[in-house]
Every structure is written in C-alpha cells, then in structure tokens.
Amino acid sequence: MDYLTKLIEVQKDFVQYQKKLFFQETLFSYQWWIILATTIILWVVWVLVVDKKRLKSIMIVGLTTSLMATVMDDIGLSLAAWHYPYQLVYFTTRFNPVDLAVIPVTYMLLYQYFVSWRSFFIATLSFCLFAAFIAEPIFVLLDMYIMMRWEYWYSAPIYFAMGVLVKWLVDKLDANSA
C-alpha cells in the first residue's frame, strides 16, 4: 500500500472517530456549553457596542484577525502542536469559536476603544498576557486544549504581533482612503 492510500484510509478512520467522539462525549458536555455560550455572548456584546460609524474599519480588523487565527490554527494542528478535543460542531478540528469569535471580537473591541498607539499597545499587551497565561491554562485545565508541542509563552508574542500588524494595516488603509 502506498503512502497516499494509507493516508486516505487513516483520514477516513479519523473522521469516523471524530464523529463518534463528538456525538458520544462532546455534544452537550459542560465544555460544549462553555464553547456555545462564549461564542454567542461575544457576538451579542459586539453587536451591542460596535461603533457603527467606524464599522468598515472595525470589520476589516475582525476579518483579518480571524483569517490570521484560522491559518495559524491550521498550521499548529498540521504540525501536531496542539489538539482540541471539544468542538462546537463535529466536522472541524480547528477551534472555530476562538478563531471566529474570541480573536476577532477581542481585536475589534481593542481597535475600537484604544485608538492611540500607546493605549492600543498597553491594551493589546494586557490581552496577550491574559490570553497566553490565564485563558490558555484554563482551557487546558478544562481539557478543551491539549498542548503537544507548544508552550504558553509562544502564544503571547504571536497575539501581540497580530494586533499590532492589523492595527497598522487598517490605520494605513483608513489614511489612504481619507
């Protein structure tokens, strides 16, 4: 059997195990409810507080950070750096609630409320330290995040660079369109 055929067979088995895990252990577990509640609450808060006058720029921040988080998550999963045993839906291995809710909503709120570079740096640094050294360990404690070839301190500079890069990009786009 060649490697491609073997890989396809392993992938088919993986999908079946993933589906069984979801329906037998994940769905309606307390971790699943946490994921669902977090996703809904974050988007409701965002809808209630978003500055509609700056919606275009804020949406660019959200879409860009979500895309970056999704790509980085795919890379980490492909390199077996981490694993997420609990999902909102069974047909993904990526932690979409973080990639599509936590990351974009947080960065959109940071961008909206901390306009000057100085305040944005401080707020973003605070968020990065909180995310890497408080939120991630809580996810590990709740068995929602398994770190296989990753350390908490790897995350903080990535979160920070993401925020700074996106603010710089969106500010540049805003300046060019003005």
* HEC assignment per residue over 73-114: HHHHHHCCCEECCCCCCCCCCCCHHHHHHHHHHHHHHHHHHC
Percent of the chain with pLDDT over 70: 99
pTM value is 0.94
Residues 22/87, Cβ–Cβ less than 8 Å: yes
- How far apart CA 166 and CA 94 sit, in angstroms, is 22
- Are 137 and 152 spatial neighbours (Cβ–Cβ below 8 Å)? yes
Residue 114 token pair: 């901390």
pLDDT, tens digit, 9 for 90 and up, residues 73-129 = 999 999 999 999 999 999 888 999 999 999 999 999 999 999 999 999 999 999 999
**How many separate domains does the chain show?**
1
39-60 tens-digit pLDDT:
999 999 999 999 999 999 999 9
State how far Cα 56 lies from the chain centre.
21
Q: Which domain holds residue 120?
A: 3-177
The predicted pLDDT at position 136 comes to 98
Among 57, 165, 66, CA closest to 121: 165
Output the six-digit token pair for 37.
């509640």
Confidence band, pLDDT 50/70/90 cuts, at residue 131: very high
**Residue 177 pLDDT grade (very low, low, confident, very high; cuts 50, 70, 90):** confident
Sign of the dihedral defined by the CA atoms of residues 42, 48, 51, 55, in that order: positive
Lowest-pLDDT range of 1-5, 98-102, 110-114, 147-151: 1-5
